[in-house]
């Protein structure tokens, strides 16, 4: 969809989905998570993403669970893309890769710094020929500096960037976040940066080499933790599910399980007291202010759980819902994916794998004018579009 078509559809309220990046070509040289996630976000918005894979394929293709041989993990990050196999040890395939890049708007790669340069596909060489090219590099520590040559995975970046020092119970061993947040935060930073620079290039500006360091991105999303250190000179510690500046704001045990409430201001604190029928706590000197409650949150937790453990989770969910206090069950993923809000938004969509097997996937959660984004292409088989891509290059070369 061209820009004018996008604007017309938006103005007319057309039922056709709005695809703001339609017409943008992205070439991906990525494996596993951070890079493929960033390009999937772009493809959801309409970009034509060509995933360049080695003959052995993206390593994520081997990750279980396997559905008749096809990785569900790979499928979750590679919808709406085309796959072409190129052997970048073959000069002819390197030349083809170069043509593909020079005909594209964006390149995304998550190799170690220097790999693309050694292939003759680095930013300096390509931007000299195509100044408007956006060249996005995702790496563990960035393109320069004392740690630039180091590799990294989500676990090691969470460890290096401080996440594991604040995750888990106070007396427990270091724990990583169960969701690979370093990978996906980096992918989000990459997609946001690319979309921002596309606007710059479309306005007549020059392209750029976008440097996405996973280490820096993980520190970037820890703004509350870094500002706490800057403010008082102390590194924040582990608090389990609790919050350093709010209470009651954590998971609590009920009669038959756990639930969470977040009384993030004084009014909500008073609402909690009405639910548990303990108004006298409002005058307790330990709990007079948000700061007082956070400082004494362990004592507060013990007091509240004496009440909470007398009733089941369902009772407290209903009570706090009626009181207007933010609350939640501690869902597993089966429950979260079956939540009525998930169903209403249509986020879980059917997906047909290249081998014909049926599965489901979590689609883009974003809506434009009330509409979500369609899954236009199933995740590709390895090299499924190689001949198609070669033919496109051949036609462009003739023209």
| 214 contact partners, CB below 8 Å, separation of at least 6 | 34, 138, 139, 140, 141, 152, 154, 157, 182, 183, 185, 186
Dihedral pair phi/psi, residue 17, rounded to 5°: -65, 145
Phi-psi region of 277 (alpha: psi -120 to 50; beta: other; left: phi over 0): left
Secondary element (H or E) of residue 82: strand 81-85
Give yes or no: 200 in active site: no
At 207 the three-state DSSP class reads: coil
Cis ω for the linkage preceding 330 (within 30 of 0): no
Task: Give the integer Cα–Cα distance in Å for 19 and 43.
Answer: 9
* Cβ atoms of residues 296 and 287 within 8 Å: yes
How far, in Å, CA of 349 to CA of 374, rounded? Answer: 9
Instruction: Please enumerate in sequence order all residues whose Cβ is within 8 A of that of 5, keeping only pairs 6 or more positions apart, or say none.
Output: 22
**Cis peptide bond N-terminal to 10, omega within 30:** no
Q: Which residue has the tokens 């489901």?
A: 360
Closest CA to 330 of 172, 225, 174, 178: 178
How far apart (Å, rounded) are the C-alpha atoms in residues 306 and 287?
17
| Inter-residue contact 380 to 354 (CB < 8 Å) | yes
| Residue 262: strand, helix, or coil | strand
- Among 243, 266, 315, 327, which one carries the catalytic annotation? 243
Q: Sign (positive/negative) of CA torsion 384, 388, 390, 396? A: negative
**Contact assessment for residue 197 and residue 157, using Cβ atoms and an 8 Å cutoff:** no
Angle between helices 266-276 and 297-308 (to 10 degrees): 30
Q: What is the residue-wise DSSP string for 1-54? A: --HHHHHHHHHHT-SSPP-TTTT-EEEEE--TTHHHHHHHHHHHTT-EEEEEE-
Show which residues are catalytic. 243
């Amino acid at each position: 969809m061209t820009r004018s078509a996008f604007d017309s559809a938006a103005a007319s309220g057309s039922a056709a989905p709005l695809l703001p990046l339609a017409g943008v070509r992205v070439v991906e040289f990525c494996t596993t998570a951070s890079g493929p996630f960033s390009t999937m976000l772009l493809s959801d918005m309409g970009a034509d993403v060509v995933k360049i894979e080695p003959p052995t394929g993206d390593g994520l293709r081997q990750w279980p669970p396997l559905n008749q041989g096809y990785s569900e993990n790979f499928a979750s990050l590679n919808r709406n893309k085309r796959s072409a196999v190129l052997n970048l040890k073959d000069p002819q395939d390197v030349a083809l890769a170069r043509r593909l890049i020079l005909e594209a708007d964006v390149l995304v790669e998550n190799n170690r710094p220097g790999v693309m340069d050694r292939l003759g596909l680095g930013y300096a060489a390509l931007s000299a020929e195509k100044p408007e090219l956006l060249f996005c590099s995702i790496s563990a520590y960035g393109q320069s500096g004392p740690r630039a040559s180091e590799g990294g995975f989500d676990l090691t970046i969470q460890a290096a960037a401080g996440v594991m020092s604040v995750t888990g119970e106070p007396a427990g061993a270091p724990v990583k976040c169960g969701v690979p947040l370093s990978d996906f935060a980096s992918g989000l930073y990459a997609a946001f940066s690319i979309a921002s620079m596309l606007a710059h290039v479309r306005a007549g500006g020059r392209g750029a080499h976008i440097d996405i360091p996973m280490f820096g991105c993980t520190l970037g999303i820890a703004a509350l933790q870094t500002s706490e250190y800057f403010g008082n000179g102390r590194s924040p510690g582990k608090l389990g599910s609790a919050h350093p500046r709010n209470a009651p704001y954590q998971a609590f045990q009920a009669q038959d399980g756990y639930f969470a409430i977040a009384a993030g201001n004084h009014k909500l604190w008073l609402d909690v007291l009405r639910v548990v029928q303990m108004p006298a706590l409002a005058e307790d000197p330990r709990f007079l202010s948000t700061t007082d409650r956070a400082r004494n949150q362990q004592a507060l937790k013990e007091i509240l759980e004496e009440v909470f453990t007398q009733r089941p989770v369902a009772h407290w969910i209903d009570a706090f819902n009626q009181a207007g206090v933010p609350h939640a069950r501690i869902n597993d993923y089966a429950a979260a994916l079956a939540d009525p809000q998930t169903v209403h938004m249509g986020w879980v969509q059917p997906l047909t794998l290249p081998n014909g097997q049926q599965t489901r996937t979590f689609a883009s959660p974003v809506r434009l004018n009330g509409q979500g984004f369609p899954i236009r292409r199933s995740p590709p088989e390895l090299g499924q579009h190689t001949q198609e891509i070669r033919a496109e290059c051949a036609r462009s070369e003739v023209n």
